[in-house]
């Protein structure tokens, strides 16, 4: 089930349980997880994208290992809120991972990567280290925004 509202998503979830946040890029998928009480999101890992079947299997295994009960996928809308080719790609990704069997919330992530990058630059993080961290930190930023909206 793919949802666009937090109310719809929350009604599809058990009372509590870990949620996964995903920042889906063309080369990587940033993954974050929150605690079962939906208090705080933490970056988990960055998956390098390959073939979709391989990516889906790795994502499914990670979500099962972490006992995730739902997924929040960042939706890269244009600044005016309209769809872009990238938005359509993420919507297609969401439809494809719907087969994992967890409820999915598409969450506006327009500023996530920029906010995380700015924080890393302010912390004087090297370019190489930023590249290593940005996707999973963006996933945590997306997930935190969604769980804050649901509480």
Q: pLDDT tens digits for 4-35? A: 889 899 888 987 889 999 999 989 999 999 99
Residues 6+ apart with CB under 8 A from 93: 24, 73
Domain limits for position 66: 2-150
Report the distance separating Cα 89 and Cα 65, nearest Å. Answer: 27
- The pLDDT value recorded for residue 116 is 76
pLDDT tens profile 45-102: 999 999 999 999 999 999 999 999 999 999 998 888 888 899 999 999 999 999 999 9
pTM for the model? 0.88
**CATH code: domain of residue 88:** 3.30.420.140
Q: Using alpha carbons only, what angle is made at residue 106 by residues 125 and 113, rounded to the nearest 5 degrees?
A: 15
pLDDT tens profile 108-124: 987 777 777 777 777 77
Residue 136 Rama label (left phi>0; alpha psi -120 to 50; beta): alpha
Q: Work out how many domains the chain is built from and give that number.
A: 1
Which tokens hold the place of 61?
Answer: 């295994």
* Phi and psi at residue 106, to the nearest 5°: -90, 120
- The pLDDT value recorded for residue 130 is 67
HSE-up of 41 (CA within 13 Å, CB side)? 25
- The pLDDT value recorded for residue 114 is 75
């Amino acid at each position: 089930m793919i949802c666009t509202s937090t109310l719809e998503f929350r009604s599809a979830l058990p009372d509590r349980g870990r949620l996964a946040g995903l920042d889906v890029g063309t080369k990587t998928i940033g993954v974050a997880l929150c605690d079962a009480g939906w208090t705080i999101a933490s970056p988990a890992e960055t998956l390098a994208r390959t073939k979709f079947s391989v990516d889906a299997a790795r994502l499914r295994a990670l979500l099962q290992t972490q006992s995730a009960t739902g997924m929040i996928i960042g939706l890269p809308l244009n600044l005016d809120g309209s769809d872009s080719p990238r938005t359509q790609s993420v919507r297609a990704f969401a439809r494809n991972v719907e087969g994992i069997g967890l409820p999915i919330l598409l969450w506006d992530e327009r500023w996530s990567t920029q906010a995380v990058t700015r924080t890393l630059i302010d912390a004087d993080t090297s370019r190489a280290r930023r590249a290593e961290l940005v996707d999973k930190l963006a996933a945590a930023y997306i997930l935190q925004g969604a769980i804050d909206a649901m509480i």
